[in-house]
Amino acid sequence: MTTAATSPHPHPWRALALLFAATWLTAALGAFASVDAKSFYRGLAQPAWAPPAAVFGPVWTVLFAMMCLAAWLVVRRLGVAAARPALGWYGAQLVANALWSWLFFRWHAGAAASVEVLVLLALVALTLRSFWRAHALAGWLMLPYLGWVGFASALTVAIWRLNPAVL
């Protein structure tokens, strides 16, 4: 593991602060769109395997923390300039992540949310691949996120299909 003195990034804590801000801004935008998510989610017909609404907040909190740490490890290993392609994928998936909440919870656009979550899944996979190439631990940290977005993709499509009049 590199130390701050040997890191390619001269200000690793500044990079962490920027990544933290971008990641948590994404979480905040999604949360803002999801203000009424618990009651909306409870009112939808759901598959038997759908988790209760209370599960989502804690899971997303842990996933966002892991994503941010993974991105920081990549920057620490490569430096900002060399990490730009990986950070591009990271930024793209952050945008897609926030957009899903708006499509599903705010705008009740089930078809669009179903397509968009598959785009998010692809972007997370590309981010994971680029992170893995830079730092194996960063790739490992992204695996739970990929799994959760895969699950969320199936859940989104299932709920949309069960609620055509609402979504």
- Complete DSSP assignment for 48-70: TTPPPGGGHHHHHHHHHHHHHHH
Does the reported pTM lie above 0.85?
A: yes
Nearest to 23, CA basis, from 91, 78, 74, 85: 91
Instruction: Report the pLDDT value the prediction gives residue 96, as an integer from 0 to 100.
Output: 98
| Rounded CA separation 22/29 (Å) | 11
Task: Say which CATH architecture domain 12-162 belongs to.
Answer: Up-down Bundle (1.20)
| Rounded CA separation 124/97 (Å) | 9
Instruction: Report the pLDDT value the prediction gives residue 10, as an integer from 0 to 100.
Output: 63
pLDDT along the chain (167 residues), means of 10: 52 86 96 92 96 95 98 95 96 98 97 98 98 98 98 98 96
